[in-house]
């Protein structure tokens, strides 16, 4: 466990992909089976411990610490496992010289431990590990490593052990199970290639660069096609048939996580042999629903029939990567597009359709479509359009983010000046700073103008600005409600935040009657007196009836 903990610790701080790769490969080289195999399983998300829930960990720490001190600590650290790892008190009584558990011991014990025996076993392990070991153990069993390592990266590190292509690992992967001894034996040249060719492996998607104003002068519109950028989730839908005739259909996220389990309705519709690059959307009566609606179907462990009926999932196809066993990635976009149109037609399912091209003859014409997608044939679906994708007609399908081939051109956000009202400490990357900000705009109240909250923003600022905002909150607190701080907000004192957002809807859940989509802090207006911030009327005029 200590070696694995040290690896996770290093990975958690290492931002560079190549350095991460070197660290993981080094771990695989220097760690024996089955320890390294379980490490690989942990990084590819192949382990799950049904009985180890956050509630269990909360229970253990509650028996050992003051609840108020735990609450304050958790609020500060912003991560349950880390808080518990740091606060865990040294065991009472004489020190025992038992070695800390190995990763294999943890994995195999958890697989065979009843729910009732688990708390005692877990507490014993925590007693014998140091802060880093405790953190790694708790992260592992709660399934939230968050070390910036995708399954693909871990597999790439395996491939590096034997100069193999990561795609070769993907092909044999579905037939393998932790601790992957035959996989290591094969890449290290000590054993045969594992059987089981995957008919639906993940292939890393091609990504786009944001287009800059100065790019247009350099680009000839005749060399490019444009299509809508839908506000859903980019997916790869891969399907095929195993040698024994069984069908395989998988839906992968952009990073190669298999999210098929949450979308049985789509798996059924994926009757093809090939791989489509597209957007996962929810459609009701042919209309694309907002991202908020789609979100309600994500991350569900169980998908109920009601869910399936209320949130019908849909793939809107952008590109064709493989068709009937043929890899099309080296062909130009224009050729793939023609094949895609025929391919989608042959699937014949209402669940899979084609993302239409947006015709244009000049960048100005395209700009007009971007400004008003509804008039540019997007109709009522315009609300679900994030912007445009501009793709070079000759571009091969290249994994990663190659330069000069694909561009994204998002719609301009709307912006409004709001006054900071409340702040709360954030979680994750922003934890321990006041980083969740509630802001308001002015409206007429019974006793003069008053601020009414219109939204909450968690990002949009730089690390340096975060430090400044955090200090402003700490130095200008006028009230505390548990973890929430109310900061000074009058016409003359307080802080104005320029909030950018993507859309506005009526809301009965918000006091102000409006809800913002994707609000974030565009600028901190240290210069602006709060009395000059916007009024609710400025938002109401933008509401669509």
Partner 1 sequence: MRPDDLLQPTPRGLYCPPADVYIDPVRSVERALITHGHSDHARPGHGAVLATAATLKIMAIRYGENFAGTVQAADWGRPVTINGVTFTFHPAGHILGSAQIAVSWKGLTIVASGDYKRGRDPTAEPFEVVPCDVFITEATFGLPVFRHPDPAAEVAKLLASLRLFPDRAHLVGAYALGKAQRVMSLVRAAGWDQPIYMHGAAEKLTRFYEAEGIDLGEVRLVKAADRKALGGAVLLCLPGSMKDVWARRFPDPVTAFASGWMRVRARARQGGVELPLIISDHSDWDELRETIRETGASEVWVTHGQEDALVHWCGTVGLKARPLRLVGYGEEGEAEPADLAPASTEPAA
Residues lying near partner 1 in the complex (CB under 8 A):
12-17, 65-66, 68-70, 72-73, 76-79, 82-83, 86-87, 131, 135, 401, 428-433, 462-464, 466-468, 470-471, 475
Question: Is 76:425 a contact under the CB 8 Å cutoff?
Answer: yes
Name the CA radius of gyration of the chain, rounded. 26
Dihedral angle, C-alpha 321, 325, 327, 328, nearest 10 °: -60
* Residue whose CB is less far from partner 1, 349 or 432: 432
Distance, CA of 136 to CA of 8 (rounded, Å): 7
> Helices 131-142 and 103-111 sit at what angle, rounded to 10 degrees?
40
Exposed, middle or buried: residue 218 (CB in 10 Å: 0-12, 13-18, 19+)? Answer: exposed
Min dist CB 321 to partner 1, Å, is 21
For residue 192, the minimal CB distance to partner 1 (Å) is 36
Q: Which is nearer to partner 1, 302 or 475 (CB)?
A: 475
Q: Identify which of residues 150 and 395 has a Cβ nearer to partner 1 in the complex.
A: 150
Complex with partner 1: residue 202 or 343, whichever CB lies closer? 202
Cβ closer to partner 1: 43 or 270? 43
CB of residue 124 to partner 1, shortest distance in Å: 21
CB of 545 to partner 1, least distance (A): 36
| Nearest approach, Cβ of residue 476 and partner 1 (Å) | 9
**Toward partner 1, which CB reaches closer, 141 or 376?**
141
How far apart are the two ends of the chain, measured CA to CA in Å? 58
Of the pair 230, 433, the CB lying nearest partner 1 is at 433
We find the least distance from the C-beta atom of residue 77 to partner 1, in angstroms, to be: 6
Nearer to partner 1 (CB atom), residue 151 or residue 328: 151
Q: What is the distance between the alpha carbons of residues 321 and 335, in angstroms, rounded to a whole number?
A: 11
Buried b (16+ CB within 10 A) or exposed e, 253-288: beebebbbebbebbbebbebbbbbbbbbbbbeeeeb
Name the phi and psi angles at 367, rounded to 5.
Answer: -60, -35
Q: Looking at beta carbons only, is 112 or 475 nearer to partner 1?
A: 475
Alpha carbon distance 519, 512 (integer Å): 15
DSSP 219: S
Q: How far is CA 75 from the centre of its chain?
A: 23
Q: What's the min distance (Å) between Cβ of 205 and partner 1?
A: 13
Complex with partner 1: residue 66 or 449, whichever CB lies closer: 66
- State in angstroms the smallest separation of the CB of 16 from partner 1: 7
Q: How far is the CB of 68 from partner 1 (least distance, A)?
A: 5
**Residue 103 in contact with residue 38, Cβ under 8 Å?**
yes
Distances (CA, A) of 192 to 21, 175, 186, 197, 244: 25, 14, 5, 14, 21
Cα–Cα distance measured from residue 87 to residue 83, given in angstroms and rounded to the nearest whole number: 6
For residues 452, 455, 459 and 462, what is the CA-based torsion angle, rounded to 10 degrees?
-20
Contacts of 443 (CB under 8 A, 6+ apart): 449, 450, 451, 452, 512, 535, 536, 537
- How far is Cα 436 from Cα 459, in angstroms, rounded to an integer? 8
Smallest distance, partner 1 to C-beta of residue 423, A:
15
């Amino acid at each position: 466990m200590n070696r694995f903990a040290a690896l996770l610790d290093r990975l958690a701080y290492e931002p560079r992909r190549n350095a991460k790769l070197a660290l993981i490969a080094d771990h695989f080289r220097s760690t024996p089976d089955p320890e390294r195999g379980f490490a690989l399983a942990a990084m590819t998300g192949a382990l799950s411990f049904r009985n180890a829930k956050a509630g269990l960990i909360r229970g253990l720490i509650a028996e050992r610490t003051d609840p108020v001190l735990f609450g304050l600590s958790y609020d500060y650290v912003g991560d349950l496992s880390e808080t518990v790892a740091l606060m865990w008190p040294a065991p009472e009584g004489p020190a025992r010289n038992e070695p800390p558990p190995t990763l294999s011991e943890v994995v195999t014990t958890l697989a065979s431990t009843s729910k009732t025996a688990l708390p005692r076993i877990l507490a014993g392990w925590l007693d014998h590990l140091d802060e880093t070991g405790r953190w790694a153990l708790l992260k592992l069993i709660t399934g939230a490593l968050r070390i910036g390592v995708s399954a693909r990266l871990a597999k790439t590190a395996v491939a590096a052990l034997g100069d193999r292509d990561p795609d070769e690992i993907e092909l044999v992967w579905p037939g393998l199970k932790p601790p992957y001894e035959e996989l290591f034996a094969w890449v290290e040249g000590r054993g045969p290639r594992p059987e089981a060719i995957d008919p639906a492996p993940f292939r890393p998607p091609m990504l786009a660069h944001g287009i800059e104003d100065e790019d247009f002068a350099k680009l000839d519109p005749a060399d490019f096609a444009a299509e809508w950028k839908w506000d859903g989730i980019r997916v790869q839908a891969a399907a095929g048939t195993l040698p024994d005739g069984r069908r395989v259909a998988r839906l992968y996220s952009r990073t190669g996580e298999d999210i098929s389990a949450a979308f049985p309705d789509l798996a059924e519709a994926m009757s093809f042999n090939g791989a489509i690059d597209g957007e996962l959307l929810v459609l009701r009566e042919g209309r694309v629903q907002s991202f908020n609606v789609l979100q309600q179907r994500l991350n569900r462990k169980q998908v109920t029939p009601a869910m399936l009926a209320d949130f019908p999932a849909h793939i809107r196809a952008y590109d064709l990567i493989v068709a009937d066993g043929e890899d099309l990635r080296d062909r130009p976009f224009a050729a793939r597009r023609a094949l895609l149109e025929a391919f989608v037609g042959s699937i014949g399912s209402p669940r899979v359709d084609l993302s239409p091209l947006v015709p244009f003859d000049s960048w100005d014409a395209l700009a007009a479509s971007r400004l008003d997608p509804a008039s540019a044939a997007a109709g009522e679906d315009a609300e679900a359009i994030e912007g445009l994708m501009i793709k070079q007609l000759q571009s091969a399908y290249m994994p990663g983010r190659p330069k000069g081939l694909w561009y994204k051109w998002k719609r301009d956000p709307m912006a409004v000046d709001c006054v900071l009202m409340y702040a709360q400490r954030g979680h994750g990357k922003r934890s321990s700073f006041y980083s969740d900000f509630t802001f308001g705009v002015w409206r007429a109240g019974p006793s003069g103008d008053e601020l009414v909250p219109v939204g909450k923003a968690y990002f949009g600022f730089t690390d340096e600005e975060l430090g400044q905002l955090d200090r402003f909150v700490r130095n200008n607190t006028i009230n505390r409600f548990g973890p929430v701080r109310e900061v000074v907000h009058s016409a003359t004192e307080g802080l104005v935040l320029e909030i950018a957002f993507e859309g506005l809807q009526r809301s009965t859940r918000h006091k102000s009657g409006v809800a913002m989509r994707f609000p974030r802090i565009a600028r901190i207006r240290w210069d602006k007196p709060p009395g000059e911030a916007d009024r609710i009327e400025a938002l109401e005029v933008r509401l669509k009836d």
